[in-house]
Amino acid sequence: MMGRAFDTLHPWVSFVFFAVCIAFSMISSSPVMLAVSFFSALLLLFVISGRKAVRYLLFSVPAVAAAAAVNTAFNHEGATVLLYLNGNPITLESVIYGAVSGTVLMTVIIWFACFSRIMTSEKIMFLFAKVSPSLSLLFSMILRFVPQVAAKARQINEAQRLSYGTPAGLYGRIKRGLTVIYALLLRSFEDAADTTDSMKCRGYGLPGRTAFSRFRFTARDGAVLAVMLVLTAAAAAAAGTGAVRSAYFPLFSGIKTGPYAVITYTLYAALLNIPAALCVTEEIKWSYLKSRI
């Protein structure tokens, strides 16, 4: 898997990265920054999960078109009237703004797709454990119970089918589903009672309990986090000069190309591509080492 270099980072580092990415993508009004974010997300998804990224790219086209159409239908702001439809003005600005909104949505969705692949439930649990131990425990229990409940449901369902046959019709299926749920609930609660007893016996809630964790904050994590924070601060400062601020109404302000704007775009692109760069470097290093064997 090509995404290993990113996957092995400390959960907090990955989490900070995604938080920064998603926040920037939602906040920035500049179409260039948005494009940078969109393609960086797509590149990272491609690095992590290969051809699945293409599906997201293909889905983006109708999604952006739909957002542009919807926005145009309800938003009649803007100075450049393209045509009148049922007496309502269709403006260039609202088409552009709709397309930008649609791209923001797709960008955030693609970042989340990367997020789900890298921030596994184990990592999320680790993050929670520091802030809220009970919620983290609840979270881990649910993740444990879901496959357990599914397996029990299958067993109960089989037993029902063997005793009473396959149910007919929608009503029959719903009724059967409920019968399975009753039995499932009773069984799950009985098992849960055992779990609580065993938790008590092992000293749950007593002081001095430690939590096992697979994750260690290494020098590499520190370096990546430092680079990330410096780039974030620099990009935010450069964007804060107002060089990239774009307006859509009443007139689209166009693509900003001042010196500060270019610096912002560069810093932003560097920030968003840290994980992809890590993975690609690792891959190159690996194939180089392999070639020398």
Partner 1 sequence: MQETKGKHGRGAVISTAAAVLLIPLTIAAGQFFPGSRKYYIISLLIILYLMLPFFAAFESRKPQPRELVIIAVMCAVAIGGRLAFFWLPQFKPMTAVVILSGIAFGGQTGFLTGAVTAFVSNFYFGQGPWTPWQMFALGLTGLISGLIFRRDYVPRRALSVIPALYGAAATLIIYGGTVNPGSLLIAAGEITPQALLAAYAAGLPMDLVHAAATFVFLLIGAKPILKILCRVKTKYGLFA
Binding positions for partner 1, rule: CB under 8 A: 26-27, 29, 67, 70-71, 73-75, 98, 101-102, 104-105, 108-109, 112-113, 115-116, 121, 132-135, 137-139, 141-143, 145-146, 148-150, 153, 174-175, 177-178, 181-182, 184-186, 188-189, 192-193, 195-196, 199-200, 204-205, 245, 247-248
CB neighbourhood size of 218 (10 A): 13
C-beta closer to partner 1: residue 18 or 215: 18
Contact 271, 228 (CB under 8 A): yes
Question: What is the distance between the alpha carbons of residues 255 and 76, in angstroms, rounded to a whole number?
Answer: 22
Q: Tell me the closest approach of the beta carbon of residue 102 to partner 1, in angstroms.
A: 7
* Listed residue (21, 9, 215) closest to 130, CA to CA: 215
Q: How far is CA 116 from CA 7, 67, 176, 205, in A?
A: 11, 24, 34, 31
* Listed residue (274, 232, 244) closest to 41, CA to CA: 274
Q: Tell me the closest approach of the beta carbon of residue 71 to partner 1, in angstroms.
A: 6
As beta bridge partners, residue 90 has 83
CB neighbourhood size of 6 (10 A): 24
Q: Tell me the closest approach of the beta carbon of residue 55 to partner 1, in angstroms.
A: 13
Structure tokens at 75: 């938003």
The residue behind tokens 């609840």 is 138
C-beta closer to partner 1: residue 94 or 221: 94
Q: Tell me the closest approach of the beta carbon of residue 67 to partner 1, in angstroms.
A: 6
C-beta closer to partner 1: residue 160 or 283: 160
Q: Tell me the closest approach of the beta carbon of residue 282 to partner 1, in angstroms.
A: 26
The residue behind tokens 């109404």 is 249
Q: Tell me the closest approach of the beta carbon of residue 226 to partner 1, in angstroms.
A: 28
C-beta closer to partner 1: residue 197 or 230: 197
Q: Tell me the closest approach of the beta carbon of residue 188 to partner 1, in angstroms.
A: 5
C-beta closer to partner 1: residue 206 or 289: 206
C-beta closer to partner 1: residue 97 or 224: 97
* Listed residue (25, 29, 32) closest to 240, CA to CA: 29
C-beta closer to partner 1: residue 247 or 284: 247
Question: What is the distance between the alpha carbons of residues 282 and 269, in angstroms, rounded to a whole number?
Answer: 20
Residues 245-276 as b or e (16 or more Cβ within 10 Å = b): ebebeeebeeebeeebbebbbebbbbbbbbbb
Contact 13, 225 (CB under 8 A): yes
Q: Tell me the closest approach of the beta carbon of residue 39 to partner 1, in angstroms.
A: 19
Contact 34, 107 (CB under 8 A): yes
C-beta closer to partner 1: residue 133 or 250: 133
